[in-house]
Amino acid sequence: MKIISAPDYQSMSRKAANIISAQVILFPHSVLGLATGSTPLGVYSQLAEWYKKGDIDFSKVHTVNLDEYCGLAPDHEQSYRYYMNTNFFQHVNIPLENTNVPNGLAKDIEAECKRYDHVINSLGGIDLQLLGIGHTGHIGFNEPDSDFDKTTHSVRLTQKTIDANSRFFEKPEDVPHYAITMGIKAIMQAKKILLIANGESKADILYRSLFGPITPEVPASILQLHNDLTVVADEAALKMI
């Protein structure tokens, strides 16, 4: 595991964006696993800025996102499809048909999970997976206690996650209670993993994930077993390390 410390959020974002841009420049056909949440916003805007300057070409890249809320339409402002379109895809030259986010409106959730696994497999797996981390140690929406070896599946979100994500919704009761998430298995099969974290509120869970026991109660702890994990975090998030 490689840990890169950054003085602040902006620097964390730039260092992480550097790793992604190196991947895309060296391997233009890369499959990028992408994440949502507030942490990667700076990474996406940095990549968009470099794209505008002509430094990166995303035209051959494919992307698979980690997760989506059940019940939210792609044009719902809080859906992860909307987030990806407005924060990243619309600002670079990636063809929209190369981008994948689980369908939160799927009637048959099980079939949608199978379809999503098929998408990941038919792309040949993920070359570089970007991850944030939730306060419960979740990656994607793999909440504590879920099996380590799951493929794409639907999850009931923990109250802690619902509370944390309610800041994005008008009313707390608007936060969906279920989501579809890529499983730990596909995440761990990614060739490279880039975990980003910022702020003091992530310090404890980051420490437990990277140096605590490997247990499904802290889903991110499985990352200790990945052979190409890079963590880029600001000093506040690294304060216990």
Residues with catalytic roles: 67, 138, 143
**Among the residue ranges 114-122, 130-138, 182-190, 209-217, the one whose residues contact ligand GLP (CB under 6 A):** 130-138
Which of 5, 74, 12 lies closest to 41 in space, CA to CA?
A: 12
Please check whether residue 99 is in contact with residue 84, taking contact to mean a CB–CB distance below 8 angstroms: yes
In whole angstroms, give the CA distance from residue 232 to residue 20: 12
In whole angstroms, give the CA distance from residue 101 to residue 66: 7
Q: Which of residues 133-152 bind ligand GLP (CB under 6 A)?
A: 133-134, 140-141
Residue from the set 31, 47, 48, 66 that interacts with ligand GLP by CB under 6 A? 66
Residue from the set 161, 209, 221, 230 that interacts with ligand GLP by CB under 6 A? 161
Give the helix/strand (H/E) hosting 194.
strand 192-197
Residue from the set 13, 21, 30, 39 that interacts with ligand GLP by CB under 6 A? 39
Least distance from C-beta 66 to ligand GLP, angstroms? Answer: 5
Residue from the set 31, 35, 70, 126 that interacts with ligand GLP by CB under 6 A? 35
In whole angstroms, give the CA distance from residue 20 to residue 238: 21
Which of 155, 154, 217, 147 lies closest to 185 in space, CA to CA?
A: 147
Residues that bind ligand GLP (CB under 6 A): 35-39, 66-67, 132-134, 140-141, 161, 165
